[in-house]
Amino acid sequence: MARRAALEISPGMVVNLGIGIPSLVPNFLPPDMHVMFHAENGITGMGATPHAGEEDEALCNAGGFPVTVVPGASYCDSATAFGMIRRGRVDLSILGSLQVSGKGDLANWIIPGKKVPGMGGAMELASKAKKLIVLMSHTDKAGNPKIVDECTLPLTSGRCVDLVITDLAVFKVSNQKLILIEHRNTSSVEEVAAKTGCTFEVQDNVKKVAY
């Protein structure tokens, strides 16, 4: 999934990555691509994870884990870091999610009665990044679809998802319509349909891909 998401990144972009699988995306980028990775705590230009023993406790990403910086990086306060997001200067945000609706609604911040961790910076990223990609497993641990007609979990932000990448398929959301554009070569449109909680269009030249 991270490999597939990396294909959406172009040179010069400012990219914010959520915790978990999204944080693996840089591993699949060519070197010298001149992409600036942005962190909510105030880093523009994050680089690779430092080698063990070379961590700097004062240089961590928004998840609190050690990072490095690339040439051209800068530090700012958190207000400015979010100003970049709200002003539309972050080109791409790649987040995990609990549910996504066929209209592009995102629900990734609480499970009522179970887990109420707070929204962190997800609302700003979801509603203000120029493009929002969701990376998530196609179904939950119990096998229930995570792509649904209407989110049953509280929304982080409505009508904000542009692309959904799962372990089975890739959908784009266009004018609040879900369109299957790729599926795994080990799967089929029928399997994807069976494991998806809402209807979707199938693009004419839907691709079978290995990733």
CB of 176 to other proteins, least distance (A): 15
Catalytic annotation, pick one of 8, 40, 124, 182? 40
Task: Please name the residues in contact with 209: beta carbons below 8 A apart, sequence gap of 6 or more.
Answer: 4, 170, 182, 183, 184, 185
DSSP H/E element including 192:
helix 189-194
Task: Please name the residues in contact with 20: beta carbons below 8 A apart, sequence gap of 6 or more.
Answer: 96
Q: Which of 3, 9, 6, 4 is nearest to 130 (CA)?
A: 9
Catalytic residue at 40? yes
CB of 129 to other proteins, least distance (A): 12
> What is the rounded distance in angstroms from the CA atom of residue 110 to the CA atom of residue 71?
37
CB of 103 to other proteins, least distance (A): 13
Judged by beta carbon, residue 127 or residue 137, the one nearer other proteins is: 127
Question: What is the contact surface with other proteins in residues (CB under 8 A)?
Answer: 12, 14, 32, 34, 36, 38-45, 55-67, 69, 71-90, 110, 115-121, 123-124, 127-128, 154-158
Judged by beta carbon, residue 155 or residue 170, the one nearer other proteins is: 155
CB of 122 to other proteins, least distance (A): 8
Judged by beta carbon, residue 48 or residue 199, the one nearer other proteins is: 48
Residue with token string 């539309």: 88
Task: Please name the residues in contact with 49: beta carbons below 8 A apart, sequence gap of 6 or more.
Answer: 65, 66, 67, 68
Judged by beta carbon, residue 73 or residue 179, the one nearer other proteins is: 73
Asked if residues 61 and 46 have their Cβ atoms less than 8 Å apart, the reply is yes
Say what the alpha-carbon torsion angle 84, 91, 61, 117 is, to the nearest 10 degrees.
80
CB of 166 to other proteins, least distance (A): 23
Q: Which of 132, 134, 189 is nearest to 166 (CA)?
A: 134
Judged by beta carbon, residue 129 or residue 192, the one nearer other proteins is: 129
C-alpha atoms less than 13 angstroms from C-alpha of 7 in its C-beta half-sphere? 8
Residues forming the active site: 40
